[in-house]
Amino acid sequence: MELIIDDLSKTYSNGVKALQNISLEIPQGMFGLLGPNGAGKSTLMRTIATLQEADKGTISLGDLNVLKQKKKVMQVLGYLPQQFGLYPKIPAMVLLNHLAVLKGITNGSERKEVVASLLHKTNLYDVRKQNLGGYSGGMKQRFGIAQALLNNPKLLIVDEPTAGLDPVEKNRFYNLLCEIGENTVVILSTHIVEDVKELCTNMAVINQGQVLLKGNPLKIIEDLEGKVYQKTIHKDDLEGYKLEYKVISEKLFLGKPVIQIISDSDPGDGFSSVKTDLEDVYLSQIYSANNNLKSIS
Ligand code: ADP
């Protein structure tokens, strides 16, 4: 099963062009949708999840016309939105059981089995009787995944799922997503480059409603290999460097500003070559887009 998005556009009534001619082919497995805040990720996720309309374009999932056959899409869709409301005073197992009824699993013994199996899968079985209000951030997110998997979806959408999770919880959450991605199309929307690098076999970078780049993360890194340079500079010289070079990032290292630039050839001038990271690719694309340049790579 493959999700195909073709020429999708959406302009909000306030004039914001949230999606501009988006076309993506998303195969089974983990797909990372990367972009800064306001890029249009949630708008795209909500449109795929049939929760809002597009102005133009089509989306198909296998044989389904997503924008027209909404009820059928709902049957094969799992969605974990950015804001996921829970009832704090209800035990996880009770709520999951209730949600299973709402999702149409009416047979009692079947439901019991599905609920137990999802609680095991998300590693929440031992804490199934605890109220959700006492769950940690990671446990809540895993519960969010459990509810999203109730109908055994073919397409799972998770919007910015790792915000606020500590590294251990994040890792556990990643592992769970990877497992699901073995037989499901999983779309992970995030502004965290690490999430995509570690998890996804395919990705796209979007900014201001447009696709800047798409493909396999490792291949994308390879294309920029050898073009990233860095240098420790004096704070006062930063603006000068920005005028002269394609500065994609500035950070402090041991209290001193370090800039990274993109250059097709060795710039000399005290710069040294550094290993390309997905973060560099991402930043360079955002840099190009914001400076109305064509792709640097
Ligand atoms: P992201 O999820 O990448 O942060 P969004 O899809 O939430 O991006 O937003 C894309 C753009 O659309 C932003 O400029 C945002 O302010 C705007 N936007 C989002 N929702 C609405 C809305 N309901 N009405 C008007 N503008 C909106």
pLDDT digits (tens, 9 = 90+) for 85-96: 788 999 999 999
Mean of pLDDT values over 210-237:
90
The CB of 43 under 6 Å from ligand 1? The reply is yes
Which one-letter amino acid corresponds to residue 131? N
Query: Strands, DSSP E only, in the chain?
Result: 3-11, 17-26, 29-34, 56-61, 64-65, 77-80, 155-159, 185-190, 202-207, 210-215, 228-232, 246-253, 256-262, 272-273
The CB of 40 under 6 Å from ligand 1? The reply is yes
The CB of 217 under 6 Å from ligand 1? The reply is no
- Structure confidence at residue 221 (pLDDT): 86
The CB of 41 under 6 Å from ligand 1? The reply is yes
The CB of 14 under 6 Å from ligand 1? The reply is yes
* Average pLDDT value for the chain: 90
Q: Report the distance separating Cα 74 and Cα 21, nearest Å.
A: 24
Ligand 1 midpoint to CA 17 (Å): 9
Nearest atom within ligand 1 for CA of residue 42: 2
- pLDDT digit string (tens) for 20-33? 999 999 999 999 99
Residue whose token pair is 């290993």:
275
Ligand 1 midpoint to CA 99 (Å): 29
Q: Report the distance separating Cα 166 and Cα 162, nearest Å.
A: 9
Residue 292 confidence class, pLDDT cut points 50, 70, 90? low
- pLDDT digit string (tens) for 223-235? 888 999 999 999 8
Structure tokens at 175: 């592992």
Mean of pLDDT values over 102-127:
94
pTM: 0.85
- Per-residue exposure over 127-165, b if at least 16 CB sit within 10 Å of its own CB, e if not: bbeebbeebeebbbbbbbbbbbbbbebbbbbbbbbbeeb
DSSP assigned state of 28: S
Which one-letter amino acid corresponds to residue 292? N
Structure tokens at 30: 């983990």
Nearest atom within ligand 1 for CA of residue 191: 3
Mean of pLDDT values over 47-52:
94
* CA-closest residue to ligand 1 atom 13: 38
Q: Is the pLDDT of residue 296 over 50?
A: no
Nearest atom within ligand 1 for CA of residue 14: 25
The CB of 38 under 6 Å from ligand 1? The reply is yes
- pLDDT digit string (tens) for 154-209? 999 998 888 778 888 888 888 889 999 999 999 999 888 877 887 899 999 999 99
- Structure confidence at residue 33 (pLDDT): 95
Q: Is the pLDDT of residue 134 over 90?
A: yes
The CB of 83 under 6 Å from ligand 1? The reply is no
Mean of pLDDT values over 237-259:
90
Q: Report the distance separating Cα 270 and Cα 142, nearest Å.
A: 48
